[in-house]
C-alpha cells in the first residue's frame, strides 16, 4: 500500500468473499464450481418484502437454514487478521460488513457495523424490538419483548434501506484509507462507497478474488483469496 504514515482513519467494507473460505456460500459467484446462493434460490422469493408477504413460510425456512448453518462455521484467517488490526490500530477504524454472519465478531473484532443486518437477530414487526435469536422462526415464536408472533429475520432485503448509513458516511468522510474486501460491487449503496471515499480524498484499495464491478475506482487492486491477502495486508499496515 506504499506509505502508511499519513493514514490514521480506516474504513473497511467486507462482503461474502471474506466468509467464503469459512464455507458460507457467496451470492453471485460460486467458489470451486459450487453454485452461488442466488443461483440456488430466486432473490425475489427469499430476499424481498414482497416475497415474504407472498410466502412467509418459504422465507422463514430459508433463513432458519442459513441461521443454523452459520453457527457451525468458524472464522478464517481473514476474519482473524481484521480482528487483530481492530485491536491494534490506534486510529479510527470501522469494519462495515454486508455480511449477516457473525464471523467478524467471533474472531474478536469489535468495531463492526452490519449494514445488511444479522442472521442472529430477530426483528419484531409489531414492537420494533430486535432480539438475539439462534433458533428457528418458522413456528412463529413470541417476541420476548411484546409477545406478538411477528418476528422476522433482521436482514435487509432488496428494496429496504440498509442500516446506519449516517454513521457509515460520517466514517467515510473522515477516512484516509478505504479498503474493500471480498465483495462483487454489485449492490448499492455499498458498491458506491469507493467513489464516495475517493472523492472525499481517501486512498482506496481492493482485495478480492477477481476484479469487482467498480474495480476501476480503486487506486490499487490485489487479487487472491482473502485468507491469504488480508493477513498479508494487515501485517504491512501494522508493521509499517
Q: Which stretch binds ligand APR (CB under 6 A): 61-69, 84-92, 136-144, 209-217?
A: 209-217
User: Any binding-site annotation on 208?
Assistant: yes
Residue 123 within binding range of ligand APR, rule CB under 6 A: no
DSSP string, the chain: ----TT---EEEEE-HHHHHTTTPPPSSS-STTPPPHHHHS-HHHHSSHHHHHH-HHHHHHHHHHHHHHHTT----HHHHHHHHHHHH--S-EEEEE---S-HHHHTT--SEEETTEEEEEEEETTT--EEE--S--TT-PPPTTT--S-EEEEEPPTTSPPS-HHHHHHHHHH-SEEEEES--S-STTGGGHHHHHHHTT-EEEEEESS--TTGGG-SEEEES-HHHHHHHHHHHHHH-
* Distance in Å, CB of 147 to ligand APR, minimum: 30
Q: Which is closer to ligand APR, CB of 9 or CB of 183?
A: 183
Pick the binder of ligand APR from 182, 194, 231, 237 (CB under 6 A): 182
Pick the binder of ligand APR from 1, 186, 200, 238 (CB under 6 A): 186
Residue 153 within binding range of ligand APR, rule CB under 6 A: no
Q: Which stretch binds ligand APR (CB under 6 A): 22-30, 53-61, 86-94, 118-126?
A: 22-30
Pick the binder of ligand APR from 21, 86, 101, 196 (CB under 6 A): 21
Q: Which residues are annotated as a binding site?
A: 63, 66, 98-101, 124, 127, 143, 146, 182-184, 208-210, 226
Binding site for ligand APR (CB under 6 A): 15-17, 20-21, 26-29, 31, 36, 98, 116, 182-184, 186-187, 208-210, 212, 225-226
Amino acid at each position: 500500500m506504499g506509505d502508511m504514515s499519513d493514514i490514521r482513519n480506516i474504513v473497511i467494507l467486507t462482503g461474502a468473499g471474506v466468509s467464503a473460505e469459512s464455507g458460507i456460500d457467496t451470492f453471485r459467484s460460486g467458489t470451486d464450481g459450487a453454485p452461488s446462493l442466488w443461483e440456488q434460490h430466486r432473490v425475489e422469493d427469499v430476499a424481498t418484502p414482497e416475497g415474504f408477504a407472498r410466502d412467509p413460510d418459504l422465507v422463514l425456512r430459508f433463513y432458519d437454514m442459513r441461521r443454523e448453518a452459520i453457527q457451525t462455521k468458524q472464522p478464517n484467517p481473514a476474519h482473524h487478521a481484521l480482528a487483530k488490526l481492530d485491536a491494534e490500530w490506534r486510529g479510527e477504524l470501522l469494519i462495515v460488513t454486508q455480511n449477516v454472519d457473525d464471523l467478524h465478531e467471533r474472531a474478536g473484532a469489535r468495531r463492526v457495523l452490519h449494514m445488511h443486518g444479522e442472521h442472529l437477530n430477530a426483528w419484531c414487526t409489531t414492537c420494533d424490538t430486535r432480539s438475539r435469536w439462534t433458533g428457528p422462526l418458522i413456528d412463529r415464536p413470541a417476541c420476548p419483548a411484546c409477545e406478538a408472533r411477528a418476528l422476522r429475520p433482521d436482514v435487509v432485503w432488496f428494496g429496504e434501506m440498509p442500516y446506519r448509513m449516517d454513521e457509515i458516511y460520517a466514517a467515510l468522510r473522515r477516512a484516509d484509507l478505504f479498503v474493500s474486501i471480498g465483495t462483487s460491487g454489485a449492490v448499492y449503496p455499498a458498491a458506491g462507497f469507493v467513489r464516495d471515499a475517493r472523492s472525499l480524498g481517501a486512498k482506496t484499495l481492493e482485495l478480492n478474488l477477481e476484479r469487482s464491478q467498480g474495480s476501476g475506482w480503486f487506486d490499487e487492486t490485489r487479487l487472491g483469496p482473502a485468507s491469504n491477502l488480508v493477513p498479508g495486508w494487515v501485517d504491512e499496515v501494522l508493521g509499517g
